């Protein structure tokens, strides 16, 4: 992806979201732009209009952390958006590089053993492209519509936007899908030269109108923890708490787990799913490249 275009689109979209009233500025008469003017952002950040204009046009190379933080405060960015701005700046400062094929990380044997030991908790490991590289049996059972008939490794982004069963599987599909796009944007900023990641974004942009619209919104999101609703084809409705753990020492791998409070309908449903799954497989599944 073109870093200048990404910077320009991100800063412009964030500026449009902040009104003069929100920034504590007077607003007189009709305004030609939505949100703040460039000059207002520059004044709030303590930089010249010319300098901020250069930054917003896509040239973040050389911008100090203090300047980036000042702009983040002026645009009222949250922590995730601020971190994203810094990632874009680091990419801009790096020497020009061609897109390259990044090798799929290996899931280490100890991690696979942990997956196998988590018999009551659905879990899987994904990389920064949202390819599922390893899953325990209960994880595969929970995401049965995603794994059914697919060539391994499956990709959760392709499932969400291109699989006709996804909207029935996720009762809150629009929320799940929009968060997924925002998380993919974070991954793209951290891996600007990954050829396969760029190809995935291009494929989804061409084949999915919702993806294309949400990608243009420039929102960013980090999956850390929360609750996700499922409508499982065999078990029914499940409200599960998820946790996302970045694996230290592994290249952009994330372990995701799902659980429910014991004794609740979702807890009972998860136990039923585990009981139904005991006859299928007792070992974690993983792929290697």
In the chain, the DSSP E strands lie at 123-126, 132-135, 225-232, 236-246, 254-259, 285-286
pLDDT of residue 220: 93
pLDDT of residue 289: 45
pLDDT at 214 over 90: yes
Cis amide prior to 153 (ω within 30 degrees)? yes
pLDDT of residue 150: 63
Domains and CATH numbers, the chain: 3-93 (1.10.260.40), 109-286 (3.30.450.180)
Residues 34-87 pLDDT 10s:
899 999 999 999 999 999 999 999 888 888 999 999 999 999 999 999 999 999
pLDDT of residue 93: 72
The average pLDDT across 158-173 equals 96
Mean pLDDT taken over the chain: 89
Residues 1-46 pLDDT 10s:
678 889 999 999 999 999 999 989 887 667 777 899 999 999 999 9
Q: Are 221 and 212 a contacting pair, CB within 8 Å?
A: no
Considering only 37-46, 48-57, 93-102, 216-225, which range has the smallest mean pLDDT?
A: 93-102
Banded model confidence at residue 100, pLDDT cuts 50, 70, 90? low
pLDDT at 282 over 70: no
d(CA 164, CA 146): 10
pLDDT at 99 over 60: no
d(CA 62, CA 266): 51
Instruction: Report residue 160: phi and psi, to 5°.
Output: -60, -40
What is the Cα 114 distance to its own chain's centre?
Answer: 24
Give the residue with greater pLDDT, 188 vs 104.
188
pLDDT at 165 over 70: yes
């Amino acid at each position: 992806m073109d870093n200048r275009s990404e910077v320009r689109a991100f800063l412009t979209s964030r500026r449009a979201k902040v009104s003069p009233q929100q920034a504590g500025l007077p607003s007189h008469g009709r305004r030609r732009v939505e949100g703040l003017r460039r000059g207002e952002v520059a004044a709030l950040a303590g930089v010249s209009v010319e300098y901020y204009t250069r930054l917003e046009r896509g040239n973040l190379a050389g911008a100090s952390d203090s300047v980036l933080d000042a702009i983040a405060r002026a645009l009222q960015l949250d922590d995730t958006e601020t971190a994203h701005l810094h990632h874009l700046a680091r990419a801009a400062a790096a020497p020009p590089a061609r897109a390259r094929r990044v090798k799929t990380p290996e899931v280490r044997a100890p991690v696979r053993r942990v997956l196998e030991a988590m018999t009551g908790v659905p879990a899987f490991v994904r990389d920064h492209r949202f390819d599922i590289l390893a899953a325990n049996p209960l994880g595969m059972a929970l995401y049965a519509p995603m794994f059914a008939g697919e060539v391994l490794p499956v990709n959760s982004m392709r499932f969400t936007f291109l699989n006709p069963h996804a909207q029935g599987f996720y009762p809150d599909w629009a929320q799940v899908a929009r968060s997924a796009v925002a998380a993919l944007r974070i991954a793209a900023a951290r891996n600007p030269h990954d050829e396969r990641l760029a190809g995935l974004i291009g494929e989804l942009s061409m084949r999915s109108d919702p993806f294309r619209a949400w990608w243009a919104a420039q929102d960013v999101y980090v999956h850390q923890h929360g609750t996700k609703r499922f409508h499982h084809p065999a078990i029914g409705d499940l409200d599960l708490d998820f946790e996302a753990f970045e694996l230290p020492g592994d290249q952009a791998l994330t372990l995701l787990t799902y659980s429910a409070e014991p004794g609740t309908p979702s807890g009972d449903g998860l136990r039923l799913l585990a009981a139904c799954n005991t006859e299928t497989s007792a070992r974690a599944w993983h792929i290697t490249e």
